[in-house]
Amino acid sequence: MLTSITDTIELANGVAMPRLGLGTYKSAEGGDVERSVATALEYGYRSIDTASLYGNEAGISAAIAGGGVPRSEIFLTSKVWNDEQGFDETLRAFERSLKRLGTEYLDLYLVHWPREQTHDTWRAFERLYAEGAVRAIGVCNHLEHHLEALLAVADVPPMVDQYEFHPWLQQPSLRAYCEAHGIVVEAWAPLMKGRVTEVPELVSIGAAYGKTPAQVAVRWLLQLDAVAIPKSVHAGRVAENADVFDFALSAEEMATIAALDRGYRFGPEPDRGGER
């Protein structure tokens, strides 16, 4: 059932992860990210996604500290960047993220991009998980062959794969692979970097429900059992992105959106190992 922003999906280890979260990529440290996170908490968001690359972990910490929501009720995600990968390097990167975030643990820690060192990075992730420093571990931007290589050596399989997922980039085989292996799919760029407004089908479907194209895109992902983390620093849009629990897309409308797939990426190819 999808009835509330408090709805969760169960990860392979039993941890409950919110179905909807706030993305913070390019939300600048200081006022932007602090206002965004504070607004999100006010509107009921309990999942906040960041990364060491984003440079805003300290701002997120400040917003959480002043937001009046207990840390135990917040699902906090961060990621290890490419130049932090490797066993020892990852452990040090994790400690830096914890310090900036002002927390003693993370709910989810992710490998930001597949790299040659990812297997060593994953050993560090497994150690952090075994020690209870993270409640769940996963990856970002991993395609099937990346996941296969990781599963071949992992003692603890990844619980989440966060990758670019929106109406123009659906990767159904990757989603099916994740489902078959008990890996929850989390969508970044669910609003197509703002270009959902350019898709007539989303506009038309939204008009039938009194909803925006962005709300239709988020609802579509949720009905596919994906986790969505739309990003905005504007209070109105943060609220809008969460207002998706009072309507449901029909099977025909879901099929219409499925037909929009054109394999179009706004971000890098995963085999290129990310940005920078």
Active site residues: 54
**Tokens linked to 249:** 């897309």
Q: Give, as one character, the DSSP assignment of residue 73.
A: G
The full DSSP string for 183-227 is -EEEEESTTGGGGGGG-HHHHHHHHHHT--HHHHHHHHHHHTT-E
Nearest to 231 by CA among 61, 59, 20: 20
Contact 232, 34 (CB under 8 A): no
Contacts of 80 (CB under 8 A, 6+ apart): 52, 90, 93, 94, 97, 109, 110, 111, 112, 121
Going by C-alpha positions, the residue among 275, 227, 248, 270 that lies closest to residue 81 is: 275
Which amino acid, 74? I
Give the dihedral sign, CA 263/268/269/274.
negative
